[in-house]
Amino acid sequence: MRDEVDGLVEAWRTERPDLDVEPLQVLSRVSRLARHLDRARRSVFAEHDLEPWEFDVLAELRRSGAPYELSPGRLLRATLVTSGTMTNRIDRLAEDGLVRRLPDPADRRGVLVRLTDEGRERVDAALADLLRYEESLLGVLGPTERDRLAALLRTVLAPLDEPN
């Protein structure tokens, strides 16, 4: 079995025999897979009238457990955006009826962002469709291969995810 990366690596080996292009064997495939996944995510989320960033915020709230509420600060740390960006995102989600702002009982000046029933239904449906697609992608791998691939990717990714 051959893929696009095989041709890319062969061409670089011919044109630049002085370089070790072996990292391309893995990382070009990871990059191409990420682009395919991004396109699929956008398509799945669009079917549920969601942008990827909307799904990310709603999913973070949904994963937090009942009553599905978090502070804006917690949301921005989880989604890796600035305070101003998160404020705009919460505003848009509130306008669409997917979240509500509530006073924070532990901080009179603070607010909590709570997932509405509509927000929960939308994120749950989008997640179910996304997982069906992702399962179809991984169907070519057996359980042991999936576990091994996940472990290898974790080994590469974990140091990158560590806070600076």
Indicate the average pLDDT of the chain: 94
- Same domain? For 136 and 122 the reply is yes
What was the pLDDT predicted at 77? 86
Same domain, 74 and 136: yes
pLDDT tens digits, one per residue of 118-145: 999 999 999 999 999 999 999 999 999 9
Number of structural domains the chain divides into? 2
Cis peptide before 52 (omega within 30 of 0): no
Same domain, 99 and 123: yes
The percentage of the chain sitting over the pLDDT mark of 70, rounded to a whole number, equals 99
Domain's final residue, options 47, 68, 83? 47
Does residue 150 sit in the same domain as residue 98? Answer: yes
Whether residue 91 is found in the same domain as residue 123:
yes
The reported pLDDT for the residue numbered 15 is: 96
Q: What is the pTM of this model?
A: 0.84
Check pLDDT > 80 for residue 153.
yes
pLDDT at 163 over 80: no
- Let me know whether 90 and 148 are in one domain: yes
Q: Which DSSP letter does residue 104 get?
A: E
Q: For residue 76, give its domain range.
A: 51-161
Give the separation between CA 58 and CA 49, rounded to whole angstroms.
13
Residues 29, 85 share a domain: no
**Together in a domain, 33 and 77:** no
User: Are residues 55 and 40 part of one domain?
Assistant: no
Window from 5-9, 47-51, 77-81 with minimum mean pLDDT: 77-81
Average pLDDT over residues 78-104: 93
* Residue 86 shares a structural domain with residue 151: yes
H/E segment holding residue 27: helix 23-47
User: What CATH number does residue 66 fall under?
Assistant: 1.10.10.10
Confidence class for position 164, pLDDT limits 50, 70, 90: low
Q: What is the mean pLDDT of residues 83-101?
A: 95
The answer to whether residues 55 and 115 belong to one domain is: yes
If asked whether residues 31 and 102 sit together in one domain, one would say no
Phi-psi map region of 96: left, alpha, beta (phi>0 left; psi -120 to 50 alpha): alpha
